[in-house]
Structure formats: structure tokens, C-alpha cells
Amino acid sequence: MNDQLKKLIDLSHQLADPALDLAIIGEGNTSASCNDGTFWVKASGCQLATIGEEGFSHVNAEAIFKLIEKDHLSDAEIEKGLLEALLDQNMKKPSVETFLHALFLYKADIQWVAHTHPASVMSILCSQEGARPFTQHLFPDEIVVCGEMPMVVPYVDPGLLLAHTVRDNLMEYLDQYGAPPKLVLMENHGIVALGSSPDEALNISIMAEKWARTILGTFTMGGPRYLTSDQTNRIETRPDEAYRRKQILS
């Protein structure tokens, strides 16, 4: 088995660990760049907890981007395009969220993508507050692991419309911050962790869930006491925190 694919299978199984509460049943999907214009992505309908080699699709990135460039595609056209993007026509159909994976892997220059639906994060993203509680910080570790600012995506219909929305938001984020996000918050949908390694993608996902539980807990004790922007920036730029981030996420 390809080493990249083996690592992706291992990451998928870890994300589906019931103790982490990140994904159940058929929720979530994962991908990894092959650094040759192709990538592995979870096939439609497969489960992270039990997925094996046959549950992943090997996809041509250029073919996916040709679909993303279209202004409109019917559901049938999307399905046909996803199948045609396969390097091996005997493989299963890629997930409809293959578009998102292509954007993050190639436009954000990320190696590993983990999309999950953590219960506590969803409790907030599906509330009247949406992603707003995550736009300020509460404790150093969530800054070190999840970055100084998550990227927020409003809810839109999965498929091409969502791909266009993510593409536009990602370009704005890169223009503003000069680097890709580590954590993407998709309101009423879930999260995307962007990692340079499988461990980083996993750790971002785990920390996002702890961050959400902390936010929810603060509302039982009078509400969040956020760090100031100066405190947040200091944590983000401290040399010792940069060293710790490298050790945690490598």
C-alpha cells in the first residue's frame, strides 16, 4: 500500500475514535496530497472508523479545478465530473466535498485535510452565535494549535456553490493574513483542520473540540473572559510558543 494512503487511513481511524466525539457513522472526510498533481480523498458513503484502502479515491486535481471553474453544474454533471477525475475508473466515486479538499490542498498549499463534525463545536456553529465565539481567544494552547484566527464559512449548499464560497473566502484570508488558516469553521456544518502532517490535522481537530467545550462552559459561569488582542498576538509571536507549536504539531 502507498505510504501516503496508509497514513491517511490511520488519520481517518483516529478522527473517528468515539472518545474524541469528532465524527460518527458516515460523517467527515479526509484527504492528502501526493505532491504530483493528484490526491487521495475519502470516497462517498464510506465511514472514517472502518475505512480501508478501497474507501479512498485517487483524483486528478486539474480535473477537479476545471469543475470548480464552472459557474453552474447540475447534480448529474457534478457526479459525472467526479467520476471522470478518478485516475482509476474502478475506484469508488469521490465525496462531493472533494472540491473543498482540492482547494485547501492546492490553493492553501496544505498536505493533509481533516473535515469532521465535533459535537461541541457544532453546538456553537448551529446556534444563534454561529462562529462569533471563536473569533476571540480564551487560552494559549488553542492559539498555538489552531492559529491566531480561524477562517469562517457561512452555510451554503454542499457542492459547487460551497466550493465557490470557500474559494473566495480562502483567497480573502490569504490576502489578509499572508498564510493559510489552520482551522476552518463552517457554520451549521462542521470544521476543517489543515495540517502539514497527519498529527497536526488530528491535533487541530482535537483542540477545536476542547476550545468549544471551554466556550460552552464559560456561559455557565457568566460568559467568556477573552484574552486581549495584545495578549493573543504575544502568544502567537513568542519564540517559546513557536518552538512548542513545532513540537506539538510535528
Between 237 and 82, whose confidence is greater? 82
Q: Which of 57, 40, 38, 35 is nearest to 5 (CA)?
A: 40
245 Cβ contact list (under 8 Å, min separation 6): 144, 145
Q: pTM for this structure?
A: 0.93
As a whole number of angstroms, the distance between CA 134 and CA 79 comes to 35
Cα 107 from chain centre: 14
Q: Which of 192, 194, 208 is nearest to 97 (CA)?
A: 192
Place of cell 477525475: 85
For Cα atoms 222, 220, 117, give the angle at the middle one, nearest 5 degrees: 125
pLDDT-derived band of residue 235, with 50, 70 and 90 as boundaries? confident
Predicted local confidence at residue 248, as pLDDT: 67
Per residue in 181-193, pLDDT tens? 999 999 999 999 9
Predicted local confidence at residue 50, as pLDDT: 95
Per residue in 134-150, pLDDT tens? 999 999 999 999 998 99
Please give the average per-residue pLDDT across 233-240, as a whole number.
Answer: 77
**Residue 57 bridge partners (DSSP):** 41
Fold of 3-130+149-197: L-fuculose-1-phosphate Aldolase (3.40.225)
